[in-house]
Amino acid sequence: MPRRRNRPAMARTIRALSGLAVAGAIAASSSCSRSDLESQLLVDASSDSSSGGSSGSSGSSGGSSGASGSSSGSVGPQKDTCPSAVSGPQPMLGNCSTRDGRSRVRAPAAPHVTWTTKLPTDSSGQLGWSSIATDAAGNAYVAANGQVSGSNGSLLRVSGADGTVAWMVPIQPDGETTTPIVLSSGGIDLCAYTPGDAQNVNALFTFDPATGSATSTNFGFDLDSASPPETADIAVGSDGSLYVTHQVGVIDTKTYISRIGPDGSVRWTTPDLSTFGPPLTYLSGVLTFFPSTVALAKDDMVVVFWNLTPEGGGQNYQTIALAFDAATGKSKWVTPLQGETEGGPVVRSDGSIVALVQGQGPVNLVVLDAATGSSRESPVYPQPWWIYGVTQSGVVLTEADQGYGTYAIADDGSFLWTHTGATVRTIASDGTIIASGDTIEGLDETTGTTKWELAPPSPAGCVAFVALTSDGKLVALQCDGTLFGASD
């Protein structure tokens, strides 16, 4: 099962609309027409869009105390809560709209396998990219699809206690189908293709957690063209608002972020993100720009990294770190960074924002002050890719340079520890880091040493995804479609 990472290719192309319709009875609805979208694109593009880390008109209402100056990455003990209106220990990509990767429930001390079930696969006998979300009642929502052309796509609700499947519905995944989102208001959100549509347009589906029935909407936006796929992982605000990245056009493409209120109305839309940086470059007709995943900081301040190739092309990548006010959608600060985004943005418990950016030299760990956008950069070598999460004390956990593995990195770019052979899946409230590869491991937060190790039930597949349930159990998925649970 291939891993997804935020590391971009040399150039991104807009995906053609393709694929099959979602099977099953799913009612499509739309709360905003295309003309409504055009009326929303009125936010002043010149508002506070200066560069160099300058702050906007206020800057303080969405900010926090800023980044810690400690080289150990320590932020200090405090109550660890997720401000997003999501429910469960692993309710979305990165566990929270801060993208911090913390489950906020305990980990098992010595787990053993308690149940197994087999999900259907295609002719390859393997699953494609799949994921698990867990709710506050101990249930897991598994999005799975086949390795060949996203076939055999399905979403199912499984009891984390005994593996009982409450329901399974077919879906037609696309490039925007990633981790399900468990909303506090009820409902499971997931992007997929709309049913019975000849053009196979992408939409956001909301599934009833009790029955699996669903409604869908695209808010009047083209959700299918967001690139890279991680961009489609919608952020959820503290009031239940959704923050959605979408694009308009194919050749002269414009990229926006919109806030959708809990009532389904479009509250605001940013200017085209390309207006916040140097002119875009088109090489041989290929678009060479893309946004990062959206993260939400204090007061739901929207943080996104806009990656582009300035005129001249080649390796002259630039990243423009952007922050927008949650209430108005206006720019708060703009910070240019040299290089392309390899991981993040992720918001730490002190409010500072961390990311990995690579320029001509090594990858830099970038720490941004949330109030002003001012940045500190520290080179990291060997090079890390992707940020799995941050511990409550502020240590950054990244993917290792060569294949599966983990680096724990301090603010000055130094390594606190490294661990080979396993990919971080989540961080428990006791600091145990849950990682997987051929097995599942519980790692010590301070040293990276293995506290316990669990062999999966099927010897034929890697452990591709692991989630914690609300009562400290594990639900895991192997590459060959074996789904299993484990507990003490």
**Structural domains in the chain (count):** 1
Reply yes or no on whether the pLDDT at 392 is more than 70: yes
Q: What is the CATH number of the domain that holds 479?
A: 2.130.10.10
Candidate from 182-196, 282-296, 341-355 with smallest mean pLDDT = 282-296
List, in order, residues 6 or more apart from 169 with CB less than 8 Å away. Answer: 24, 154, 155, 156, 207, 212, 214
Q: What is the largest CA-CA distance in the chain?
A: 58
For the sheet with 375-380, list strands across it. 340-347, 353-358, 363-368, 375-380
For residue 400, the model assigns a pLDDT of 87
Reply yes or no on whether the pLDDT at 433 is more than 70: yes
Tell me the CA distances in angstroms from 327 to 58, 65, 305, one per residue in order: 13, 20, 20
Q: What is the pLDDT of residues 9-18, one digit of tens each?
A: 323 322 222 2
pTM of this structure:
0.82
For residue 149, the model assigns a pLDDT of 58
- Are 71 and 297 a contacting pair, CB within 8 Å? no
For residue 268, the model assigns a pLDDT of 98
- Tell me the range of 76-80, 114-118, 193-197, 282-286 where mean pLDDT is highest: 114-118
How many CB atoms are located within 10 Å of the residue 20 CB? Answer: 15
Q: What is the pLDDT of residues 44-75, one digit of tens each?
A: 333 333 334 444 333 333 333 333 333 334 44
* Adjacent-strand bridge partners of 183: 86
For residue 408, the model assigns a pLDDT of 96
Residue keyed to tokens 């909407």: 217
For residue 311, the model assigns a pLDDT of 57
- Are 67 and 74 a contacting pair, CB within 8 Å? no
* pLDDT, greater one: 88 or 80: 88
Residue 233: band (very low, low, confident or very high) from pLDDT cuts 50, 70, 90: confident
CA distance 483 to 458: 9
**Residue type (1 letter), 168:** M
For residue 317, the model assigns a pLDDT of 78
For residue 153, the model assigns a pLDDT of 85
For residue 49, the model assigns a pLDDT of 37
Closest by Cα among 188, 99, 178 to 140: 188
* 288 is a domain residue: yes
For residue 222, the model assigns a pLDDT of 78
Mean pLDDT score of the chain = 80
For residue 33, the model assigns a pLDDT of 34
Residues in the chain: 488
For residue 51, the model assigns a pLDDT of 37
Q: What is the 3-state secondary structure (H, E, C) of the chain?
A: CCCCCCCCCCCCCCCCCCCCCCCCCEEECCCCCHHHHHHHCCCCCCCCCCCCCEECCCCCCCCCCCCCCCCCCCCCCCCCCCCCCECCCECCCCCCCCCCCECCCCCCCCCEEEEEEECCCCCCCCECCCEEEECCCCEEEEEECECCCCCCCEEEEEECCCCCEEEEEECCCCCCCCCCEEECCCCEEEEEECCCCCCCCEEEEEECCCCCCEEEECCCCECCCCCCHHHHCCEECCCCCEEEEEEECCCCCEEEEEEECCCCCEEEECCCHHHHCCCCCEECCEECEEECCCEECHHHCEEEEEEECCCCCCCCCEEEEEEECCCCCCEEEEEEEECEEEEEEEECCCCCEEEEEECCCCEEEEEECCCCCCEEEEEECCCCEEEEEECCCCCEEEECCCCCEEEEECCCCCEEEEEECCEEEEECCCCCEEEECCCEEEECCCCCCEEEEECCCCCCCCEEEEEECCCCCEEEEECCCEEEEEEC
* 122 is a domain residue: yes
For residue 182, the model assigns a pLDDT of 97
CA dihedral 4, 154, 255, 353 (to 10 degrees): -50
* 303 is a domain residue: yes
Strand-pair category, 54-55 with 331-338: antiparallel
Reply yes or no on whether the pLDDT at 258 is more than 60: yes
Residue 37: band (very low, low, confident or very high) from pLDDT cuts 50, 70, 90: very low
* 21 is a domain residue: no
For residue 56, the model assigns a pLDDT of 39
* pLDDT, greater one: 334 or 339: 334
For CA atoms 213, 218, 224, 229, give the dihedral sign: negative
Q: What is the pLDDT of residues 116-143, one digit of tens each?
A: 999 988 888 888 878 999 999 999 999 9
Candidate from 19-23, 233-237, 356-360 with smallest mean pLDDT = 19-23
What's the mean pLDDT in 78-102?
93
* 34 is a domain residue: no
Closest by Cα among 375, 213, 378 to 305: 375
* 76 is a domain residue: no
For residue 403, the model assigns a pLDDT of 62
Residue 225: band (very low, low, confident or very high) from pLDDT cuts 50, 70, 90: low
How many CB atoms are located within 10 Å of the residue 263 CB? Answer: 9
* 119 is a domain residue: yes
Reply yes or no on whether the pLDDT at 431 is more than 80: yes
Tell me the CA distances in angstroms from 405 to 140, 399, 432, 436, 438, one per residue in order: 26, 6, 16, 9, 12
Reply yes or no on whether the pLDDT at 299 is more than 80: yes
For residue 402, the model assigns a pLDDT of 66
Candidate from 98-107, 274-283, 339-348 with smallest mean pLDDT = 274-283
* pLDDT, greater one: 67 or 88: 88
Reply yes or no on whether the pLDDT at 22 is more than 50: no
What's the mean pLDDT in 239-252?
86
For residue 124, the model assigns a pLDDT of 83
Of all residues in the chain, the percent with pLDDT exceeding 70 is: 74
Q: What is the pLDDT of residues 304-319, one digit of tens each?
A: 998 876 555 555 678 9
CA distance 58 to 436: 44
* 6 is a domain residue: no
Report the Cα–Cα distance between both ends of the chain, in Å, rounded: 27
What six digits make up the tokens of 76?
């200090």
What's the mean pLDDT in 28-44?
35
Query: Residue 232: which domain range?
Result: 92-487
CA distance 133 to 425: 12
How many CB atoms are located within 10 Å of the residue 443 CB? Answer: 26
